Structure 1
């Protein structure tokens, strides 16, 4: 099967400065069985050649000067190298142009969050047309699948939940890295400090303000507690926007107990996770999946998260971590913190369960989920081409 995958365009595949959609494309396609040919259309950048081949993956890169010229170049290439199936990553609007040119090729949309299906990004009329024209949709959680079924009236048989994966190897190998002590010293952490760790974008939906307010109560009871916040306003961006200024104001009374670290590329994150004893993901918006939880668990770290969106499909309450509603963090976080440090065996056991849980989410399983969806569509198309058999 020849599979064409169209990345959104603003970032490259593999990602240079990070970007979750492009990271997913790279990891999933590495695991697609070698009998399938995968063509990945993505943004041209200085880091990579215009086109390249890695085993059964071919990268075709174009300059991105907006979605329309970018997609026009892709359509021109697809016209010459017709694939069996097309997967559009997180841009449902692309389906409309693709189906005008390739009405018989199955086109799927991989929705990574609710954002690009919202009325702020695409009108109800256009989204309705996309739902009709697309062969199907893929989401990274059952929560997101049900969201689109409800808000966009996508029939259940036409939308498939396939969880993302994680490779636990780099996170486990990082535990033995010689530079961990140096990194701790660089950030200003002492050997006896107890570290609560946050990784992700600094945006209101991620609930960093909730974490800071709750951590204040933790630090009042535990003088050894430290909070490390890794991330910027966006992928590769450390812009000091109003929300970041608000976070800095909230952290001022805590002094050096809060350590802000700027954006860190994803390839270096396995090492940074080793700084934390416990990882916090205080999301207040409806997360589609929340990759950080999976990465933290791959590092063998207990996770304290919220029940927002698809998080509960990954984190098990009182198993791999704790699920606490955002409004209860200021009350519950100090209690959980005290429990995990007064009974170290509980923290250790949770870390083991977190790692076991992470191992259940593999990129190979994600790739197989995609292939199953594609193969069914291609088989259906081929069956439609077969002439009717005469009877009698």
Structure 2
């Protein structure tokens, strides 16, 4: 990479490192342009980390999920000493932050999806759940917010209102904003926004729970097992203040546990958070299925658009990645077939054909 083609984030990483040859990246990631690099002597993070990480938000990135904090780095700074095993962060210049790079790999790397965490890592996950609900939301007032209307005037126990805001984001900022370009794909796959509207009215009364800090994206790739075997949590850009049960629902949805493991994790979560924030698990067994239905439905809308944007990103379509992306779309359709009221789900070749014909129509 030459000086002329290097991005501002890369140049900043070089300045913070021992030299251009020690900078690695950009690392895989959607929301941020990320570089890892060896840390020189006397770096602001001290001797605890051998490498540092610089994450610069990608300009103009499309957000598929609602988020509430404008700066992941400033949130991590506020959580220092409150939440264990998260990246250390230090501001090295105005709005430029250096994070400690966690050496390691995701848990059960290479294993089949759905494999549970080890007993040690489950214990540390429960510790994370407890620490999240222990954070007083007022302690985060100084962290810039990017979501509305989640300010002080929002009911701090209105779990149904919180769910409505999540649904409205998917309905308006993902589905409706994409209809002009991706409407044909949605129509041919049988996906309609009315399924989201129906989720706003649960069949049973929704329980109020005190709001807490929510990571919002606790899946396998956002956990790192370090060289000593401890579980760290990274990538906090989707963090919010809201219903703590949403944390459990998101985790179960993304981890794809077997039913017995999901039930066991749910019971342990309820016991863990209730002991710290009374009422935070209130009604969880009754409300969890509805939140899981939302997550399955949301995945369809986001996966449908992610695949289309993957094809249209750049001058040439990314045909090589289409089979895997189409398989993911089909899997999401199968999981959400009931709330989407689909009479049938297209097979993999049919899903691929929908995207191929859509791209050709766009290109023509």
Q: What is the TM-score of this pair, normalised by structure 2?
A: 0.29
Please report the TM-score for the alignment, with normalisation by the length of structure 1. Answer: 0.27
Higher strand share: 1
Structure with greater Cα Rg: 1
